[in-house]
A = this chain, B = another copy of it.
Amino acid sequence: MTSPITPDRLRTLFRPRSVALVGASDKSAFSATAYRNLVEFGFQEHTHLVNRRGATVHGRPTVTSCSEIDEAVDVAFLMVPQVGTVEAMSDAAAAGIRNAVILSSGYGEAGEAGRAAQAALVAHAEKLDMVLLGPNHLGFANLVDQVPVTSISGLPHRSGPIALLSQSGASSSAMMEFAAMSGNDLSYMVTLGNEAMITAGHVLDFLVDDASTRAIAIFMESVRDPEVFRRAALRATAAGKAVVVLKAGSSELASRTAAAHTGALVGDDRSIDAVFEQCGVIRVDSIEDMLITAGLAAHTGPLAAPGVGVVSISGGACDIIADRAEDAGMLLPELGAATEEVLTAVMPSYGTVQNPLDVTGAAIIDPSLFTSSIIAMADDPRIGAVAVVNGLPAFGEGPWPGQPFVDASGEGAARASAPVVYVSQILQPLTGYSREILEHAGLSYVLPGLKQAVTALAGVARWSQAHHRLKGDDGGAARADIRLTLPAPSTRRGAWSEHTSRRLLADAGVPVVPAVLAASADEAVAAAREIGGPVALKVASRDILHKSDVGGVRLGVTGADAVRQAYEEVRTAAGKVPGAAVEGVLVSPMRSGGVELLIGVVRDPAWGPMLAVAFGGVFVEVLKDSALSTLPVSPAKARELLLGLRGAALLQGARGTAPADLDAVASVVSTIGDLALALGDHLEALEINPLRVDGPTVEALDALVTWRTR
């Protein structure tokens, strides 16, 4: 079944030609505010008030039914009490209205009865072929076309390139106020409420195609339709529109709090991070960073290179930026030889040519030092954006003494070959006074505050890399590069023994330690002789997953007698496990030295399969240090995961071990991901523990496959 909630359909909702306020009433503050908004934005002519009693409301005549409205209406804003909503929807639908914005609460957020009411609401909407925004929210405002369908007061009139989506109605006023104050003007503001039909992902999908929107800021507590969101986010990043998300619920306490007040199930935070990483979504941790980062992305678009060049007259600011850059992962590349040469020619002898660049007091005498430094920095191929840091007064009158620096920066920005961003030292409002100063220099944008600037630049740089990776991608499903004959359906049940799992891995191209399945002590002895040196004996049974616990494992066994004895012990131990079918005993060479990894694929209930990598031993047990990724995992991505682990030095020759062949390890990890994808929805979990890495050698020593059918 195709979803009715397409971008085209949402266009009729978010860009309506006329609006009906259903349940309009003088007694309702919601109604009064919604109506006043429409009047203030000049939409009065296409606003229709519907009141069951047909009274005069807000000083205007009303109709008692939507059918009485004399023009085609795109959106019904339902402000009726919860009990009247279904009937009001029917009335609107009968009048040909196909989109409803539902204010009232008492649905999904209100216990079991509420959830039932919400399900009935959706079923009714589907029957009527209507789509719903809400319920339990405050509507939306289209600032591009100046159509407010919301009960939030104090809407900004200025419009801009950033769409703001919020699951919280109560906080959206503050978010809008910050957007307006900081000069990050909005195209749309949408409160999402319970997302009974239209979710954040659907709105995002609409916005990818909306010409007025260049970046999307989202405050959310949960992702309600994961696949819709993922697909839309991939499409947005590929299209060069940044998605910046303030996702609450990273703490355990917030998860509890969110559950208390919106009925939202807050997903596993680490999976969210992995999915955001996959989609190029920029995650932030404050309202301010959300809007500032979206504004920056809208201003610069994707950066050609991840490095940032910094030019400032304040050494202190340079230091603060360098510190914060390290924290936020913003790259401050060393300057190329050509750049150094140009800068050395313009900088005074007592200055230091480096990034960040302190242009020194010489710029007071010759502000054009800003211009030439900016141009030189922007020409450096490792630099994707130049941040010029300077003062910018928010309040004042008359000409500002620092104007020449801004003018020189503006000239640099006009002539530079990469985006140039004017950064103020503190988080401050973009006032009329500061706008005048910027405009005099031909600038229109300021990134406010050193720490906020670094956070935003780091986020936009990461998003830009994701954009280049995803460009041309249609946001379709993940693809595996593996061709595999799926095991017969009848065998894809429960857990598989190590022996069976080994074969699956080997078929997929994962190196596995050699092993012989011995059915008798004689066979075990022969296998051990063939292998040479000490061997390991392990019981092979799909019914015994924790082999060591039952005495089903013997390690470091040397000599025919010892092998024979070990075989018997293992069989005897296995025989004591009630109902366990034993396939035999695996005999394999003992391995020692090297580093042990754990590679596992598990299924996130919301997001599907996720691959985790970790070092064995204390790293995973004590430090809980692991890295997570969506599938597929490219070899490059696998490398990134491995090097992101705290113990990464173990792969690089720490503690006297041979440096690992990282390409080989990354390739195996990638293959394991592909295998999991190829096994598709049948797979519950796939775990290689350990994957032993010793210099050039990579091999799975043990493996476990479990299927979803039991």
Binding site for B on A (CB under 8 A): 105, 110, 153-154, 166-168, 170-171, 173-175, 177-178, 181, 219, 221, 246, 248-254, 256-258, 260-262, 285-289, 313-320, 322-327, 332, 350, 352, 354, 356, 358, 360-361, 391, 393-396, 401, 424-429, 449-451, 618-619, 621-623, 646-647, 649-650, 654-655
Contact B261 A168 (CB under 8 A): no
| A648 (CB) vs chain B CBs: closest residue | B622
Contact B174 A261 (CB under 8 A): no
CA of A246 to CA of B171, assembled, Å? 30
CB neighbours of A401 from chain B (8 A): 153
CA of A167 to CA of B173, assembled, Å? 39
With contacts A170-B313, A323-B250 known, is A352 near B260, CB below 8 A? yes
Query: Measured between C-beta atoms, what is the minimum distance from A433 to chain B in Å?
Result: 12
Contact A427 B427 (CB under 8 A): yes
Contact B170 A314 (CB under 8 A): yes
Contact A258 B315 (CB under 8 A): yes
One complex includes copies of this chain to the number of 2
Which residue of the partner chain, among B153, B171, B313, B426, contacts A175 with CB atoms under 8 Å?
A: B426
CA of A193 to CA of B320, assembled, Å? 17
CB neighbours of A316 from chain B (8 A): 166-168, 170-171, 219, 221, 248
CB neighbours of A449 from chain B (8 A): 286-288
17 extra interface residue pairs, beta carbon distance < 8 Å, beyond A286-B320, A286-B324, A622-B654: A105-B361, A167-B316, A170-B314, A175-B425, A177-B394, A181-B394, A219-B316, A221-B316, A249-B319, A252-B326, A257-B322, A260-B358, A261-B352, A285-B323, A288-B449, A428-B429, A623-B646
CB neighbours of A324 from chain B (8 A): 285-286
Which residue of the partner chain, among B171, B257, B352, contacts A356 with CB atoms under 8 Å?
A: B257
Contact A325 B253 (CB under 8 A): yes
Query: Measured between C-beta atoms, what is the minimum distance from A189 to chain B in Å?
Result: 14
| A178 (CB) vs chain B CBs: closest residue | B426
Contact A178 B391 (CB under 8 A): no
CB neighbours of A450 from chain B (8 A): 286-287
CA of A157 to CA of B659, assembled, Å? 63
| A248 (CB) vs chain B CBs: closest residue | B319
Contact A254 B621 (CB under 8 A): no
* CB-defined A-B contacts under 8 Å, sample of 22: A168-B314, A168-B317, A170-B317, A171-B316, A171-B317, A174-B425, A177-B393, A177-B428, A178-B426, A178-B428, A248-B319, A253-B325, A253-B326, A257-B319, A257-B358, A260-B315, A261-B358, A285-B323, A287-B320, A287-B450, A429-B429, A618-B647
CB neighbours of A394 from chain B (8 A): 177, 181, 429
CA of A287 to CA of B423, assembled, Å? 14
CA of A381 to CA of B74, assembled, Å? 56
| A650 (CB) vs chain B CBs: closest residue | B622
Contact B168 A315 (CB under 8 A): yes
CB neighbours of A253 from chain B (8 A): 322, 325-326, 332
CB neighbours of A257 from chain B (8 A): 315, 318-319, 322, 354, 356, 358
Query: Measured between C-beta atoms, what is the minimum distance from A412 to chain B in Å?
Result: 19
CB neighbours of A175 from chain B (8 A): 425-426
CB neighbours of A154 from chain B (8 A): 393, 396
CA of A178 to CA of B314, assembled, Å? 16
Contact A320 B288 (CB under 8 A): no
| A649 (CB) vs chain B CBs: closest residue | B622
Contact A618 B655 (CB under 8 A): yes
CB neighbours of A288 from chain B (8 A): 426-427, 449, 451
CA of A315 to CA of B322, assembled, Å? 36
CA of A646 to CA of B624, assembled, Å? 10
Query: Measured between C-beta atoms, what is the minimum distance from A165 to chain B in Å?
Result: 12
Query: Measured between C-beta atoms, what is the minimum distance from A18 to chain B in Å?
Result: 28
Contact A254 B322 (CB under 8 A): yes
Which residue of the partner chain, among B167, B261, B358, B647, contacts A622 with CB atoms under 8 Å?
A: B647
Query: Measured between C-beta atoms, what is the minimum distance from A136 to chain B in Å?
Result: 10
CA of A623 to CA of B621, assembled, Å? 15
Contact A248 B320 (CB under 8 A): yes
CB neighbours of A171 from chain B (8 A): 314, 316-317, 425
| A334 (CB) vs chain B CBs: closest residue | B253
Counting chain B CB atoms within 10 Å of each CB, the highest count among A105, A319, A361, A425 belongs to A319
| A176 (CB) vs chain B CBs: closest residue | B426
CA of A667 to CA of B488, assembled, Å? 63
With contacts A314-B168, A332-B253 known, is A654 near B319, CB below 8 A? no
Counting chain B CB atoms within 10 Å of each CB, the highest count among A258, A316, A427 belongs to A316
Contact B618 A650 (CB under 8 A): yes
CB neighbours of A261 from chain B (8 A): 315, 318, 352, 358, 360
CA of A175 to CA of B326, assembled, Å? 22
CA of A512 to CA of B621, assembled, Å? 30
| A358 (CB) vs chain B CBs: closest residue | B261
CB neighbours of A623 from chain B (8 A): 623, 646-647
CB neighbours of A650 from chain B (8 A): 618, 622
| A361 (CB) vs chain B CBs: closest residue | B105
CB neighbours of A622 from chain B (8 A): 646-647, 649-650, 654-655
Query: Measured between C-beta atoms, what is the minimum distance from A418 to chain B in Å?
Result: 21
CA of A698 to CA of B352, assembled, Å? 53
CA of A288 to CA of B623, assembled, Å? 34
